[in-house]
Amino acid sequence: MGRGESPEELVVRSMLASIRHRGPDDSGVYMASKVALGNVRLSIIDLEGGRQPICNEDRSLWIVCNGEVFNYVELRSELESRGHAFSTHTDIEVILHLYEERGPECLKELNGQFALAIWDENCSSLFLARDRLGVRPLFYTINNGTLVFGSEIKAIACHPSVKLSINPTALGQIFTFWSALPAVSLFSGIQEVPSGCYLSVNDGQCKIQRYWEMDFPDIIQLSTNDNGEQNEDDLLESFRELLIDAVRLRLRADVPVGAYLSGGLDSSVISHIIRQYGSSRLDTFSIAFDDSTFDENGFQRQMAKHLETDHQVVQAAHADIGKAFPEVIWHTETPVLRTAPVPMFLLSQLVRDSHYKVVLTGEGADEFFAGYDIFKEAKIRRYWARQPTSKRRPRLFDRLYKDIPRFSETSSNFSSAFFKAGMTDLDSPYYSHSIRWRNTQRIQRFFSRELRHELSGNGYEAIRFPPEFRNWGPLEQSQYLEVTTFLSPYLLSSQGDRVAMAHSVEGRYPFLDYRVVEFCNRLPANMKLRGLRDKYLLRKLAKRWLPEEIWKRPKRPYRAPVHKCFFNDQTPDYVQEALSPEALKDSGLFDAGMVNGLVQKIKQGVGISETEDMALTGIISTQLVYKMFVATNCTNVS
């Protein structure tokens, strides 16, 4: 065994080795009679002294944590004034001492992004917790009375008691909502601590409790001036100060901090704040596509020149995306329905090659300032529903989805029929998202007969609604669905944490500062979506700081090419293998005849739909997941 390691410690070290990409700088293990804790560290704060696990003064409490607590400076000062003695300068030790005082209530004081575990030796209890919006992942399973947990499923799969198999219900959710819904994973028996929750283990009993809930309470009432116009100046100033402070906190690091710059409004605002209120020097990073349909390089360079940043670009060609796809799936550990995570994976590699570990991004503004077309679509449908026979009202849809070429090229009659489905079902809690979900669910027709037989209903019943949901306005209900079914389980995971940490890069999100989120959730709807103009208050702030071409830009969702990445002059071998009749029969998840029909359609150059692009990506990625994690039990990457 070497170094006197027990079999249990060897298991822990093998688990850590599987996620070394999350923390290549250091590792540590704590072993006791009833628990084993391990950590791999990406050193960002207290580079020399922050090794984990970390204990309190009497060594009765031990912590491991993946992530950061940004307000640790203020919290540490308060704790020291109350007599706590610290052995490191890291933010993670602050959590431990705060837990020592307040128990689970300490989570409400943490401004950060984290997944953590605390062992209490005195009462033999384990405490697992995850940040409010689920930026950092945390999975667990219970086998034969043993709880095994980790930041990634591949670590859990290293435990000898764990064997992975596909959860059909979760796969159905992915092929509906783009991800498995909170608390479950693609793999049977592997669960996820939901965002904003903690799990406590005492006397062999596990209990999950929620400490933070997305809510829309006490909408701010704006005063009016003599002309009856809303007085927005005080609101704008409050938002400005709050966002600046959120950025300031996320610049705390003992290593250089860069920024993603997409050329859009959100990342440009964050980059501006860094330049004005942070370091005098800033490196920015962006993606350029060979395919002009998806490229925003011109806006990126314009903004970089305006901010005078040192700007670096990764060029993503079709073949580059196709080549990197299997490695991305190894890191996401779940099927994806689009290739968009891959360029983000390539971008994080550029960041790491440029000797950066931390980047700030604009993620979250679209969800909390109603930037997506799905919010406008729901608003138009509700407006149209007041006069269902109107010919003029559905023409408002012509302003949407111009970024999807084939959709914008369809006839107005087709688009009207598409959006009219369920239009008058105004009381449905799924009203804003039902069209998207039904459209995505169409790709389940590629499932095998056996898999379709195991699935029942549309899966909507698995969505969790808080008691206050029915009291919220239509926009707020839409935002809740977008955050809980898409932002947390997909964008912050497959397109966020997983592809960044694959190259040991930590993304930080000022718009997801819980104070910013709670401020946005108290805004009147017209401060977010005014008419069909999204992000009203944010644009008003950006007008002070950014060139007109940037702050006035219509929202252009980040997208990446699909079928041309898999079928081109350099079609990767794994594509042919994954879609072969033999591989499809082995997994038993898809109908080989249906899949072959889609493949032949692409090879013959027949135009394929957005839905078929999603199907292709979903099928290939599911087949890769099956091979990597089920057929070979997580032993290789390709």
C-alpha to C-alpha distance for 246 and 512, rounded to whole angstroms = 9
C-alpha to C-alpha distance for 289 and 12, rounded to whole angstroms = 41
What integer pLDDT is reported at residue 414 of this predicted model? 65
Query: Which residues pair with residue 67 across a beta bridge?
Result: 114
Query: Which residues pair with residue 141 across a beta bridge?
Result: 148
What integer pLDDT is reported at residue 293 of this predicted model? 84
C-alpha to C-alpha distance for 88 and 22, rounded to whole angstroms = 21
C-alpha to C-alpha distance for 508 and 493, rounded to whole angstroms = 13
Instruction: Indicate the DSSP class of residue 543.
Output: H
Fold of 233-327+342-368+494-551: Rossmann fold (3.40.50)
> Across the 638 residues of the chain, what is the mean pLDDT of every consecutive 10-residue run?
74 97 96 95 93 95 98 97 95 97 97 98 96 98 94 97 96 97 96 98 92 92 71 92 97 96 94 87 93 86 93 94 97 97 97 97 97 96 93 86 53 73 93 96 97 91 94 97 97 97 98 98 96 96 94 85 90 96 97 97 90 97 98 60
Give residue 17's Cα distance to chain centre: 24
What element of type H or E holds 118?
A: strand 112-120
C-alpha to C-alpha distance for 330 and 345, rounded to whole angstroms = 12
Sheet strand arrangement including 310-316: 310-316, 283-289, 257-260, 358-360, 506-508
> Strands 61-69 and 283-289, how do they pair?
unpaired
C-alpha to C-alpha distance for 479 and 510, rounded to whole angstroms = 18
Q: Quick check: helix, strand or coil at residue 130?
A: strand
Place of tokens 């705390």: 252
Q: Are 151 and 136 in contact (CB under 8 A)?
A: yes
C-alpha to C-alpha distance for 289 and 287, rounded to whole angstroms = 7
Q: Are 590 and 446 in contact (CB under 8 A)?
A: yes
What integer pLDDT is reported at residue 637 of this predicted model? 41
Q: Which two tokens stand for residue 148?
A: 């095994």
Place of tokens 């997208």: 559
pTM of the predicted protein model: 0.94
* Number of neighbours of residue 331 by Cβ within 10 angstroms: 23
Residues 6+ apart with CB under 8 A from 125: 119, 200, 201, 202
Q: Does domain 7-210 have CATH number 3.60.20.10?
A: yes
- Residue ranges covered by each domain of the chain: 7-210, 233-327+342-368+494-551, 373-481, 563-631
> Strands 125-130 and 61-69, how do they pair?
unpaired
What integer pLDDT is reported at residue 153 of this predicted model? 98
Q: Are 90 and 45 in contact (CB under 8 A)?
A: yes
C-alpha to C-alpha distance for 334 and 625, rounded to whole angstroms = 6
Q: Is 182 left (phi over 0), alpha (psi -120 to 50) or beta?
A: beta
Q: Which two tokens stand for residue 378?
A: 């729901």
Q: Are 331 and 502 in contact (CB under 8 A)?
A: yes
